[in-house]
Structure 1
């Protein structure tokens, strides 16, 4: 008999459970309910110790409970920490009770203490291995167990999983149901060929992170044997594997950790290992379908409702992985590998072809050309083994979903070239029965298992793939193995000699070695949308810039005291972009140097020492620029360590500041007036402000604020500095300079970052009066800032910006991107605000919109998760709760939509 449907839980409350425990077991103490999908479980903290009162659903037969007791005994004998049966006052194992017309079977088991692995902080691969070992121990322990009460086929028996999904899927929305059925049908089809050969025995049936606990000593306990059944032996492994999906940073590594640990105790056949992944997909489908039906059947079951989202995510993750790849990997770690002996089969002179991320053959976007491999693979060349091929990289895709890792090589040979017969385990394409080539390219691949693995796979589990498909170099008499990327080793080297105070993005950062337009590429040929790099104005590796740099390097590079054209031309172009009267240009090598110089200009021109600067602002890392930097995200002690020549004014943040809303400028200016009235303004040299809060995530100043501050400072004889290093230079789209958005004109402009597209280059633009006053300080020059190469690149940036209409692109794409981000706020309450303009945006995440409390931890988790989605975004702001989104100005609308969709997926998954 097969019962595919769900069962409503028995109906009884805490008082009724307490009465049953007292009457039949003599147990008295506080009673609380534990979660269960189809039964009722109650924790009774009796004076003799904690126990669990278990009330079975109405369809359970007494023999089934007796069978569970037999399984408990076998598990205990195997050394596992499991519950023991507590008999009733009259010595019975199971008691039959009547509650409100329900005839129910009740048992009491000892309580196994510990933290459920489901709730464990820092769940990692060691816990995956622990689950795998425990599942293996149980299967081994149950090998000889037999009991007539072992459960009939129910919805949890994976032998009928496909029928369960089809039967219960009607409770799901149509789109979800269609996806679920398609995945289940595909998995069922894979199982058909092997189902008859899968061994059957008693299994636990639900060895998951929800049914296992860890005590303080790290000892694992198994707490629920309610799904013990006779089924396929390998189903035990599939159930456990399913429970770790989504729990670690790498699903494939987690799966393999479970399989490898399980295999220490149970030797599965190759056929069984082939069945693991289809069974995992079916198990996730059963969980999703069953929960949907259970909620419809038993709407008050909070336990089931809470698990639904996690079960849907597990299904999505299982369905997203390549079934062929995972099946091969499971086979590879679940049994011994036997690499075939290799001997040379080809006598020819060959040249290895570099198709890696750093290959010079793939510059200027050539890696995206669809026929690039065919054009590069000329006679006498051979591709490299275990190379992550950039030619197969996919932009706008989740990380580790592009099949870039080559498990063999391709050799370009003249037709009719003779090869020696290959040994068993070596696969050749393009060679006829007579051993001569019949195609211009011969594929060579080796396998340590029966059958032929895929030729290209995703970067998951590279070490396992290398064991499964060994290096074919010996067949060709030439080393054709590509160097293995090791970002982990490089990070260790960085931390050894690169002062660690120089932070890096991400806890486990990819090694980025190539950029193209708005994309970054790591050494495993995974492509990311660079949504954070406002340095790369014209995008990465723009051909115009690379050509300009190469040409100028081939001519001359020296310091700016020599007389050459590029520095003059760049100064002319900058003066032409500034407001009238600001026509004197200093070329420097960074934003920090630009700000430092601007402060010196103000102090020298006025003969005064004090500077007004706003809280929450970032201006640089030189001694002077750091002195006026008050961003707590960069320096938690900033406010208490400012020198006495810095006078801090309130941060004019209209979103979370002292005064809020569209008319906040009046309040802030009134506060400034009061502050100035208490100062010795005869010592005031000027004010420096960001026209938009850059490190705050692009928070716009309240309308009229900047002009109001500038007019007050000028009236006192001070100099007004607009720090445009982060957001100026066309990034706002609607305006070239940030101060234009405020309708204000400064006396000094500082700019950097965008000017050089990553080359050390910055500038200070000011009036002739201020520049000439500075001459009292002596001469000035900056070696790298005004060098011929720096200047040539600066000119090239401006040329590209004009030719490709990048400010207009910042406006169009930026407005669309902002609208997409704002739309997320209607779905997710954590989106408190979207700041900024053009392509300088910030998404502020909050735990509560009313209080605007920062969601700092969530912001960090979102950025880490976005990396897996193929997007590079980082948090900013004093609370590190604002996602800063400031991509290269060449970003396309398609890439912008990809970022929004990725953020949507991440928020849906994390919330």
Structure 2
């Protein structure tokens, strides 16, 4: 029922004996009216229609009455009683129950209406909330013990509305934070204090004047819940539109704590509770948008999204440390800054030939999509971990693993639906002749198996690889990898392994300006095959990454694989595409790297991104090859193809498809390559920028004529970028190529920031 201003005026006169004018104002669930009497006094009239009972309205009035005589009474609306002395007026109008409340008017401006809220406001807000919660510590009302979707204790119900968020990136971020609430907050809820709380100190429920709080209004979301939730809600809205939102949250928390001390365990989850409130806000807005165009439902939506993007860049440990210290607790960080003790223990129990990245090692303790957090509160944009293809701790992948691990994990000697389902998913993306899957635990193991299969199928042992290639760390994979066997401690080239020329268009024999470079590089393979034929030796296989990784982040010359594959097949060998670092949409234009060359391999090897960090890999072959390999010797892998791995792989594939990560790689990768090429025009140290999608290499040199590698300069640059919050590494035969292969959630904003910082770091080099 919509009530007119004239009708409200009549009701107020009849039941409150007040001669007023009435002006309708905005409201969420209530119909609100601003009243003016002839003496210049103002009141707020709130009307609810059709409620099944008035218990909760009574609770709101009781809490205001309870606070009216306390030190915070001046910032709480006073209850105006009707002529019968009642705080709540109930009337029946056209068969519908109306509930009327009249409250005093509080002066001031909503924080949300201030263009630039001053920091002092949040000192005042923290202190006021602390005082209010202190006064409410003993308040009890049965109606406050209720279910409300806006109680953060129920925030996981927001998952039901995730489907209404159409933007894939935003939906994933919200899902990530809800997962973190489940993992970090839910286990400690039993240790948190409970109380009746206001629960909605948002920027339109707090009034200020001269940087002081003059009013906290609207107890419509009041509930008995965890005390720290009240602080979290206030912090959330205080952080809106702030360049450094954590600074503002710390101010509010400090002032609150001075009035009503918070416990350390409450502060430990505050970061996640702030994120939870934002998740609740944006999922509700998305749901409401699907039903209504009421602007009141979306009043904070844009600011909530902006803050979520800011929040995910804040290391949760940094937030906890700031909250602890402002309240007088100890630091959340370790004191062993150089990790001397940890490194000593590592050297004692871990092989010394497992190296650690960076001069000052990082101890990474958490991952969040394209971000990594260390134990000192720093946040890094991960620009190199292509293993976490769908992003660190992607909620869909994590939950798929959790569900299956809680149900069953065993070997593949039993029937299991997900093994078949995943085999279908993988092969559906490949050429039709590639139909049979063998699952393993790593790319090394998969390459090992691929060579074993090719040797059995062809009856030959010799394999052709590319110079500087890397195919893994098993014994066979090491034999395939010049990067290893020609390097320090390497065993040297085996007689049955043959190196083809690295098809490098920047510093190789044939370069960018040679339109026939692909064919010319293929001639080195032809030469090897001819040489073997003269000795009466055939070949088992040619194996090649479809973009060269360790070889220098090099896209293959146009037509190269088409020429090579034909040569190999004519010689009776099999063509193996190593997609371990390349596949699953990373190159943007195509789903698989070999598609860029318009070829169809006989065997495809998959790894790294296939499980998003979970140990999973695969070999996919033709039916003909699989039939021949079924020679009586069983192929069995204890963990390869286990149910957890299969559900993980299925989840990763669904994320790639549903979140359109291939398109993300294309758009972001093209932008990144364009901007890096712009840098090359300004910085002579950049000799070449190359890649496809989010598989990018930047070759650094000292001189554009001699192409002498910029070493050790590149190592200094990597360290400086790390100090600025960007993790990259080096690669290439001369160790002078910046390797940039981030998780696929790496976005345009990340690319802009990365290029901007790299621009600054490169200034002064050559």
TM-score, normalised on structure 1? 0.50
Of 424, 442, 449, 1:597 maps to 449
Which residue in 2 is equivalent to 1:787? Answer: 642
**1:503-555 deviations in Å (ceiling 9; x for gaps):** 12112122111111111111222211100011111111111111101100111
Residues 697 and 835 of structure 1 are in contact (CA less than 8 Å); yes or no, is this contact kept in structure 2? no
Say if 2:565 is the partner of 1:713.
Answer: no
Structure 2 residue aligned with 1:748: 603
In structure 2, C-alpha distance between the alignment counterparts of 1:629 and 1:408, rounded to whole Å: 58
Secondary structure of 1:844 counterpart: strand
Does the Cα contact within 8 Å between 2:541 and 2:575 map onto a contact in 1? yes
Q: Over residues 718-777 of structure 1, what are the superposed CA-to-partner deviations in whole Å (9 max), with x where a residue is unaligned?
A: 111011101111100001111111111110000111100000000101111111211226
Find 1:733's aligned residue among 580, 583, 588: 588
With over 3 angstroms needed to count, the CA separation of the structure-2 counterparts of 1:633 and 1:827, relative to structure 1, is: farther
- The number of aligned residues is 494
CA–CA distance in 2 between the matches of 1:637 and 1:469? 50
Distance 1:812 1:565 in 2: 36
Q: 1:411 to 1:382 in 2, by over 3 A?
A: farther
Give the alignment's Cα RMSD to 1 decimal: 4.0
Structure 2 residue corresponding to 1:866, chosen from 721, 726, 733: 721
Q: Which moved more, 1:728-737 or 1:768-777?
A: 768-777
Alpha-carbon distance in 2 for matches of 1:802, 1:899: 26
Quote the offset at 1:828 in angstroms.
0.3
| Cα distance change on mapping 1:686 and 1:866 into 2, 3 Å | same
Equivalent residue, structure 1, for 2:96: none
Classify the secondary structure of the residue corresponding to 2:666.
helix
Aligned to 1:644: 495
Partner Cα separation in structure 2 for residue 747 and residue 849 of structure 1: 40
State how 1:156-195 maps to structure 2 within 5 Å. none
Task: Please give the secondary structure, in 2, of the residue aligned with 1:826.
Answer: helix
1:493 matches 2:305: no
Counterpart position of 1:676: 529
1:790-836: CA deviations, max 9, x gaps? 11000000101111000011001100011011110011001000121
Q: Which residue of 2 aligns with 1:587?
A: 439
Partner in structure 2 of residue 364 of structure 1 = 176
Contact 1:633-1:880 within 8 A present in 2 as well: no
Secondary structure at the counterpart of residue 719 of structure 2: helix
Change (3 A) 1:909 1:409: farther
Deviation (angstroms), 1:494: 2.1
Instruction: Give the structure 1 partner of residue 430 of structure 2.
Output: 578
- Look up the SS of the partner of 2:681 in the other structure: coil
Compute the displacement of 1:697 (Å).
3.6
Q: Summarize the Cα distance change of 1:799–1:363 in structure 2 as closer, same or farther, 3 Å threshold.
A: closer
The counterpart of 1:529, out of the listed 364, 378, 381, is 381
Q: 1:840 aligns with which of 695, 717, 722?
A: 695
Asked whether 1:628 is paired with 2:480, we answer yes
Distance 1:767 1:857, change over 3 A: same
Find the residue that maps to 1:722 and give its secondary structure.
strand
Q: Distance in 1 between matches of 2:494 and 2:409?
A: 38
- Aligned counterpart in structure 2 of residue 554 of structure 1, from 402, 406, 409: 406
Check if 1:615 corresponds to 2:467: yes
Partner of 1:563: 415
CA distance in 2, matches of 1:607, 1:667: 29
Judge conservation of contact 1:485–1:524 (CA < 8 Å) in 2: no
Please give the TM-score of this superposition, normalised by the length of structure 2. 0.59
Q: Match of 1:430?
A: 259
- Which whole-Å CA distance do the structure 2 matches of 1:900 and 1:402 have between them? 26
Counterpart CA distance in 1 for 2:387 and 2:543 is 21
What secondary structure is seen at the aligned counterpart in 2 of 1:902? Answer: helix
CA distance in 2, matches of 1:820, 1:634: 35
1:170-249 to structure 2, matched below 5 A, reads none
CA distance in structure 2 between the partners assigned to 1:881 and 1:858 by the alignment: 9
State the alpha-carbon separation in 1 of the partners of residues 672 and 349 from structure 2: 40
Unaligned runs of 5+ in 2: 1-136, 139-173, 196-225, 229-234, 268-313
SS where residue 786 of structure 1 aligns? coil
Q: Post-superposition shift, 1:669?
A: 2.5
Aligned to 1:769: 624
Structure-2 separation of matches of 1:694 and 1:848: 24
Q: Partners in 2 of 1:367 and 1:575 — Cα distance?
A: 31
Equivalent position of 1:813 in the other structure: 668
SS at structure 2 position matched to 1:642: coil
Change (3 A) 1:768 1:411: farther
Distance in 1, Cα, partners of 2:236 & 2:642 = 36
Is residue 2:545 matched to residue 1:694? no
The aligned counterpart of 2:298 is none
The 1:403–1:739 alpha-carbon spacing in structure 2 relative to 1, beyond 3 Å, is: same
The secondary structure found in structure 1 opposite 2:520 is helix
Given that 1:681 and 1:716 are in contact with CA atoms closer than 8 Å, whether structure 2 keeps it comes out as no
1:778 has 2:629 as partner = no
Q: Does 1:484 align with 2:339?
A: no
Structure 1 position 784, deviation (Å): 2.4
What's 2:305 paired with?
none
User: Per-residue deviation at 1:659?
Assistant: 2.3
Could you tell me which runs of 5 or more consecutive residues in structure 1 were left unpaired when the two chains were aligned. Answer: 1-347, 350-361, 384-389, 413-427, 443-457, 474-479
Partner of 1:877: 732
RCO greater where, 1 or 2, for CA within 8 Å and sep 6 or more? 2
**Which aligned pairs between 1:101-140 and structure 2 lie closer than 5 A?**
none
| Alpha-carbon distance, 1:652 to partner | 1.5
Q: Secondary structure at the match of 2:584?
A: coil
Measured at CA, do residues 401 and 828 of structure 1 come closer, stay the same or move farther in structure 2, by a change above 3 Å?
farther
